Chain A
Amino acid sequence: MKTDPELMREFRDGDETAFDKLVKRHQVGLLNFFYRLVWDHSLAEDLTQEVFMRLYTHKNEYEPQAKFTTYLYRIGRNCWIDYLRRTKSERKNVSLDAETPGGSALAETVPLRTEDPQETARKEELADTLVEAIDELPEDHKLVFILSEVQGMKYHEIGETLGIPVGTVKSRMFHAVKRLKDSLARSMKGATGPWKAEGETT
Chain B
Amino acid sequence: MACEEKIQEDLVALIQHELSSDREAAVHKHLEGCASCRDEYEQFRSVFKAAKRINLVEPSAVFRKNLERRISEAIEHSKRSQLQKRPGSTGVRLPNVAPTVENTSSTKRIAPVAPPESAATRVTARLNSTRRPEPRGPWLRYVAFAAACVVLALTASHFVFFPKGGDNSDPAEQMRIAAEKRWNERRAGQNWEKILAENAVPMPDDMALTEAVYVLPHSVPSFHEKCVVAYTQADRERLEANAKKPAQREEIRKLFDGAVKVNVEGGKLAVTPDMVTRYLGGSNNRVVILKLNGRMEIWSASAFERYRNATPVLETVPAAAPSESGVPTESDAHGATRPAA
Residues of A whose CB lies within 8 Å of any CB of B are: 23, 27-28, 31-32, 35-36, 41-46, 48-50, 52-58, 61, 63, 71-72, 74-75, 77-78, 81-82, 86-87, 89-90, 92, 97-104, 109-111, 123-124, 126-127, 129-131, 140, 143, 148-150, 154-155, 162-165, 168, 170-171, 173-174, 177-178, 180-181, 184-185, 193-196, 198, 202
Contact = CB atoms under 8 A, between A and B. Distances in A.
A148 B51 CA distance: 11
25 contacts: A27-B63, A31-B58, A32-B57, A41-B57, A45-B60, A45-B281, A48-B63, A49-B221, A55-B97, A61-B100, A71-B98, A78-B110, A90-B309, A99-B302, A100-B57, A102-B277, A103-B283, A110-B55, A129-B50, A130-B47, A163-B105, A174-B5, A178-B12, A181-B43, A196-B43
Query: Can you list the 8 inter-chain pairs with the closest CB atoms, starting with the nearest?
Result: A46-B221, A103-B283, A74-B98, A58-B97, A174-B9, A42-B281, A194-B42, A127-B53
Contacts of B36: 202
B68 to A, nearest CB: 10
Interface of B: 1, 5, 8-9, 12-13, 16, 18, 35-36, 39, 42-48, 50-51, 53-60, 63-64, 66-67, 70-71, 74-75, 78, 94-100, 102-107, 109-110, 112-113, 219, 221-222, 226, 273, 276-277, 280-284, 300, 302-303, 306, 309-311, 313, 315-316, 319
B113 A111 contact: no
A35 B71 CA distance: 21
A45 B63 contact: yes
Nearest to B2: A202
Given A23-B64, A168-B106, A174-B8, A101 B50 contact: no
B124 to A, nearest CB: 24
Nearest to A110: B53
B57 A44 contact: yes
B302 A49 contact: no
Contacts of A165: 104
Given A130-B51, A163-B104, A171-B9, A41 B60 contact: yes
Contact of A111 (B1, B44, B53, B98): B53
B57 A177 contact: no
A75 B103 contact: no
Nearest to A36: B54
Contact of A52 (B55, B67, B306): B67
Contacts of A54: 95-97
A99 B42 contact: no
A90 B221 CA distance: 14
A99 B70 CA distance: 24
Contacts of A198: 1
A177 to B, nearest CB: 5
Contacts of A104: 283
Contacts of B43: 181, 185, 194-196
B226 A195 contact: no
Contacts of B9: 170-171, 174
Contact of B106 (A123, A154, A164, A181): A164
A28 B277 CA distance: 18
Which of A46, A74, A109, A110 has the largest count of B CB atoms less than 10 A from its CB?
A46
A77 B144 CA distance: 51
Given A99-B281, A177-B48, 20 more contacts: A41-B60, A45-B63, A46-B221, A53-B319, A54-B96, A56-B74, A57-B71, A61-B113, A74-B99, A78-B98, A109-B55, A111-B55, A148-B16, A173-B12, A174-B5, A177-B12, A184-B47, A194-B42, A194-B46, A195-B46
> Most chain-A CB neighbours within 10 Å: which of B54, B94, B95, B319?
B54
A194 B39 contact: yes
A77 B74 CA distance: 20
A112 B47 CA distance: 18
B35 A163 contact: no
B44 A126 contact: no
A31 B59 contact: yes
Contact of B66 (A35, A45, A63, A196): A45
B303 A50 contact: no
B97 A101 contact: no
A101 B58 contact: yes
Given A99-B302, A101-B58, A78 B96 contact: yes
Contacts of A180: 47, 51
Contacts of A78: 96-99, 109-110, 112
B12 A32 contact: no
Contacts of A163: 99, 102-106, 110
B104 A49 contact: no
